[in-house]
Amino acid sequence: MGMNKITSAIKENSTFLISTHKSPDGDALGSSFALGLALKKMGKNVFYALEKPGGGKYSFLNELNELNGSYGDRSFDVGIFLDSSDPDHLYDASLMERCRIRINIDHHVSNNGYCHLNYVDVNASATGEAVYELLENLNVELDEEIALALYTAIVSDTGNFKYSNVTYKTHDIASKLYRYPNRYWEISRKLFDETTFEKVQLIGYALGRISLIKEGKAAVIHLSHEDLKKFSDDADMEGVINYARDIKGVEVAVMIKETSRDTFKVSFRANTDFDVSKIAVHYGGGGHSKAAGCTIRDMRFEDVLEDIKSHIVF
Q: Which stretch binds a second copy (CB under 8 A): 5-13, 195-203, 228-236, 284-292?
A: 195-203
Sign of the alpha-carbon dihedral angle for 166, 172, 176, 182: positive
For a second copy, the closer CB: 94 or 168:
168
Based on the shown chain and the rule CB under 8 A, indicate whether residue 193 belongs to the binding site for a second copy: yes
User: Which x/- pattern over 248-277 shows residues binding a second copy (rule: CB under 8 A)?
Assistant: x-----------------------------
Q: Do 118 and 86 contact (CB within 8 A), yes or no? A: no
Using CA atoms, how far residue 246 sits from 206, 252, 291, in Å, is 15, 10, 14
Q: Are 214 and 205 in contact (CB under 8 A)?
A: no
188 or 289: whose CB is closer to a second copy?
188
Is 181 a binder of a second copy (CB under 8 A)? no
In the complex with a second copy, the residue whose CB is nearer, 39 or 177, is 177
By CB under 8 A, residue 219 contacts a second copy: yes
Q: Does 130 bind a second copy (CB under 8 A)?
A: no
Strand order in the sheet with 76-82: 45-49, 15-19, 76-82, 99-106, 117-120
205 belongs to the binding site for a second copy (CB under 8 A): yes
Q: Phi and psi for 266 in degrees, rounded to 5?
A: -120, 130
Contact pick of 80, 101, 174, 237 for a second copy (by CB under 8 A) = 174
Say whether residue 61 binds a second copy (CB under 8 A).
Answer: no
Q: Which stretch binds a second copy (CB under 8 A): 37-45, 113-121, 134-142, 245-253?
A: 245-253
Tell me if 213 contacts a second copy by CB under 8 A.
no
- CB of 98 closer than 8 Å to CB of 74: yes
Rg (CA), the chain: 22
Is the Cα dihedral 35, 38, 42, 45 positive or negative?
A: positive
Q: Judged by CB, which is closer to a second copy: 39, or 149?
A: 149
Tell me the CA distances in angstroms from 176 to 140, 143, 277, one per residue in order.
Answer: 14, 11, 39
User: Using CB under 8 A, which of 201, 259, 260, 295 touches a second copy?
Assistant: 201
Residue 49 or 191: which CB sits closer to a second copy? 191
Question: Does residue 196 interact with a second copy by CB under 8 A?
Answer: yes
Q: Residue 168 belongs to what H/E stretch?
A: helix 168-177
Residue 160 lies near a second copy (rule: CB under 8 A): yes
Q: Can you tell me the distance from the alpha carbon of 170 to that of 116, in angstroms, rounded to the nearest whole number?
A: 27
- Closest CB 41 distance from a second copy, rounded Å: 22
Tell me: does residue 231 bind a second copy (CB under 8 A).
Answer: no
Site for a second copy contains 143 (CB under 8 A): no
If one asks whether residue 208 binds a second copy (CB under 8 A), the answer comes out as yes
Report CA dihedral (92, 95, 96, 101) to the nearest 10 degrees.
-140
Total residues belonging to the chain: 314
Residues forming the site for a second copy (CB under 8 A): 160-164, 166-172, 174-176, 178-179, 183-185, 188-189, 192-197, 200-201, 203-208, 210, 212, 216, 219, 242-244, 246-248
